[in-house]
């Protein structure tokens, strides 16, 4: 079963996809930066026993954009997830996050440990840390970008332009995966197509949390944690190991062949089986 759902948080609509078994264990799935709920479609097809909800996070996909002069902070995602769970009326759930979604899920599970039954992190454990000395320049750059922000997205005549943009991006995708994400990332106009995503998502983050702050969240995670990382992904094993050592209840840390979107283009069946074995 698959159906579209709409929630409301902080004055905007959050759109999502509900899949699997409505009577099953609740699983909230959080996508990566500039992706959307559709990025979990391949994985969800193999997790039919669970009550799966994959949302388009604020500013992404079909979901609404925050008001003028609002910022998209990683740590603000803690509140977003809390409000989404409240809207779903889920007192407890399993969290599955990819990249940005995994970073937010890490912070959330450390903030509200009693609401998270298990935590599956794909290609991130917490957000990137900030350099204290560079913070003033970062804040200035973010404010300048906001002052000059133009919310209008350019219109392109051909949908293939958007697919090629994802294929040629830093984080490589297969063509099938790029097309899947485009279903919720682009809308059609009379004279062409345009991105749905909020352009502010590409702005410099005003503040990045220091490493010791991030570690404090990781230490406070109470549930079992499964980590799934790509051998050709964003992170080196040494970087992940430095944070993984603070996980209080580690289940397993897996390194699998593939790139950053291994949950779409890698061994999806094996990833799904590991998640099923983990959640139970």
- Which helix (H) or strand (E) segment is 159 a member of? helix 159-167
List, in sequence order, the alpha helices (H) in 13-76: 41-44
**9-60 pLDDT tens trace:** 999 999 999 999 999 999 999 999 999 999 999 999 999 999 999 999 999 9
To the query of whether residue 205 is one of the catalytic residues in this protein, the response is: no
Res. 125 pLDDT band, cuts 50 70 90: very high
Active-site residue identified among 39, 99, 185, 205: 99
Per-residue pLDDT for 231 more than 90? yes
The fold adopted by the segment(s) 2-137+208-279 is: Rossmann fold (3.40.50)
CA 2 – CA 146 distance, rounded (Å): 38
CA 260 – CA 169 distance, rounded (Å): 12
Burial of 4 (0-12, 13-18, 19+ CB in 10 A): exposed
Q: Which is it for strands 12-20 and 2-9: parallel, antiparallel or unpaired?
A: antiparallel
- Return the SS3 of 176: helix
CA 12 – CA 10 distance, rounded (Å): 6
């Amino acid at each position: 079963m698959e159906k579209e759902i709409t929630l409301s948080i902080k004055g905007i609509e959050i759109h999502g996809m509900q899949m699997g078994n409505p009577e099953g264990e609740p699983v909230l799935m959080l996508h990566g930066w500039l992706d959307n709920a559709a990025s979990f479609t391949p994985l969800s097809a193999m997790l039919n026993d669970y009550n799966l909800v994959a949302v388009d996070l604020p500013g992404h996909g079909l979901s609404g954009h925050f008001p003028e002069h609002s910022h998209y902070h990683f740590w603000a995602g803690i509140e977003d997830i809390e409000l989404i769970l409240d809207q779903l009326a889920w007192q407890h759930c399993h969290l599955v996050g990819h990249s940005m979604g995994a970073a937010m899920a890490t912070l959330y599970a450390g903030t509200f440990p009693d609401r998270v039954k298990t935590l599956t992190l794909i290609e991130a454990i917490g957000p990137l840390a900030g350099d204290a000395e560079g913070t003033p320049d970062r804040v200035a750059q973010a404010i300048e970008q906001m002052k000059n922000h133009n919310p209008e997205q350019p219109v392109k005549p051909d949908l293939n332009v958007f697919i090629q943009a994802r294929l040629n991006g830093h984080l490589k995708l297969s063509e099938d995966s790029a097309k899947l994400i485009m279903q919720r990332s682009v809308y059609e106009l009379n004279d062409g197509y345009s991105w749905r995503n909020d352009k502010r998502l590409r702005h410099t983050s005003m503040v990045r949390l220091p490493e010791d702050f991030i570690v404090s969240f990781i230490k406070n995670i109470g549930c079992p944690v499964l980590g799934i990382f790509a051998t050709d992904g964003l992170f080196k094993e040494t970087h992940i190991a430095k944070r993984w050592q603070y996980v209080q209840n580690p289940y397993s840390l897996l390194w699998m062949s593939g790139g950053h979107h291994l949950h779409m283009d890698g061994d999806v069946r094996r990833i799904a089986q590991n998640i099923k074995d983990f959640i139970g």
